[in-house]
Amino acid sequence: MATLTSRKSFLRWVLRHQHKLKQMVRTCHLKVKEVYGLDEYRNEEPESQETFKFSELTTKLADPDQLRLKPDVSELKFGQVFSDHMLKAFYHERLGGWQKPVIIPFENVSLHPAAKVLHYAIELFEGLKAYRGKDGRIRIFRPDLNMNRMNSSALSSGLPTFHGEELIKCINRLVQVDQEWVPHKEGASLYIRPTLIGIDGTLGVAKSESALLFTILCPVDSYFDGKEEGVSLLADPRFARAWPGGCGDRKMGSNYGPTIRVQTEAIKRGRQQVLWLYGPEEYLTEVGTMNIFAFYIDDKGDKVLATPPLNGLILPGVTRQSIIDLALEYKEFRVEEKLLTMKDIITLQRQNRILELFGSGTACIVSPISSIEYMDELIEIPTLQQKSPIFKRFRDELYAIQYGHKKHPWAMPIE
């Protein structure tokens, strides 16, 4: 770049570099679009009037000889053993839409080999949990949020929507039928997996005219048994989980398949999970299948709890929302939905201003992070060195709500 000695040469410089400057402006413009949400571009439709109805639910119980032995919950790995029954509701456009829901003995799903779910990933799911409280009553945590997200995912997948409260009532009934599968142990729970798949037996990438909504249940033990260990992460800017103009904020199957090769790479390098970055700024987006939170001291000396905003790249987690809600009630530190870059984290860590990093999700509730491998460097995070860390406070409070130690509208006993 030549030295500029006059206004004239400056103008010449601008002329010569106008292409780059223009590009810079356009890039910034896109960045704003990228970062501050693409919601205006989603073709959301008003919620459909169509739905299956709880009042039409029929139940066919398993024969006594079909019932399975309930395993010792402390020996269970996640998602390996399922309960005795399942919920099913078919949708067929040419039969008028949603059919009557049924609870039936757990069984295989029979699909036409051209079913869209097997070829084009026309599929979505949810994850929520039923907890047996200290009073023996069963509670499900904030299922309404899962239903909203499930309908958003359906809209983005060309799958039929439904009324969330109808599915909640059907799921409650399913959990009641299999209530002995809700572990009699605090810390353990019954994981609930509603799933919606496109089943038309025709090739061609298109809206589904037939779909199957089903729900299965599996007992899971506590994620943490006494010993507290931090998660180690691999942050590699070469891989991206989601991108602007995509569907990273939906719980669609297509967000998971492509992550396996990167997760495999993390394990190979001795890290447990992937910290997904985005773009040249290396924004933190998610951890494995969790949302991420940072608790730190800002440059004015104030404590801040921050998590990335719902800008289209982030799954709107139910535990994420609950932590924000609780933190706002505490009124003890600032709570922000804001962008965090890898550079921010490194600066905070070097200046001893990062206090905690943790992930949140239905499976793990709250999971402390102890280190990040980034560009062949290991960044240690002192989450577990805090005296009374806030991640533990959130976990304990959610636990108290989920197991009925604290009465709260987020977890009412099911009838």
Tell me: does residue 340 bind a second copy (CB under 8 A): no
CB closer to a second copy out of 10 and 330: 10
CB closer to a second copy out of 114 and 378: 114
Phi-psi domain of 238 (left: phi exceeds 0; alpha: psi -120 through 50; beta: other): alpha
* Tokens matching residue 129: 């949990």
Among 151, 156, 291, 311, binds a second copy (CB under 8 A): 156
Tell me: does residue 32 bind a second copy (CB under 8 A): no
Tell me: does residue 351 bind a second copy (CB under 8 A): no
User: What 8-state DSSP symbol labels residue 335?
Assistant: E
For residue 95, what are the CA distances in angstroms to 55, 104, 113, 350, 391? Answer: 19, 22, 21, 63, 50
Min CB(118)–a second copy separation in Å = 6
- Report the site for a second copy in 215-234 (rule: CB under 8 A): 216, 218
- Report the site for a second copy in 49-108 (rule: CB under 8 A): 78-80, 82, 86, 106-108
Among 151, 189, 232, 255, binds a second copy (CB under 8 A): 255
Tell me: does residue 6 bind a second copy (CB under 8 A): yes
Among 55, 94, 260, 415, binds a second copy (CB under 8 A): 260
**Count of residues touching a second copy (by CB under 8 A):** 85
Min CB(312)–a second copy separation in Å = 10
Tell me: does residue 19 bind a second copy (CB under 8 A): no
Could you identify the residue written with the tokens 């495999």?
264
Among 182, 213, 247, 284, binds a second copy (CB under 8 A): 247
Q: Cα dihedral angle (380, 384, 387, 392), rounded to 10 degrees?
A: 130
Among 141, 214, 358, 391, binds a second copy (CB under 8 A): 214
Beta bridge partners of 354: 296
Among 32, 43, 136, 301, binds a second copy (CB under 8 A): 43
Could you identify the residue written with the tokens 């533990």?
392
Tell me: does residue 10 bind a second copy (CB under 8 A): yes
371, 232 Cβ separation under 8 angstroms: yes
User: What 8-state DSSP symbol labels residue 3?
Assistant: P
* Cβ-count burial 355-382 (b if 16+ within 10 Å, e if not): bbbbbbbbbbbbbbbbbbbbeeeebebe
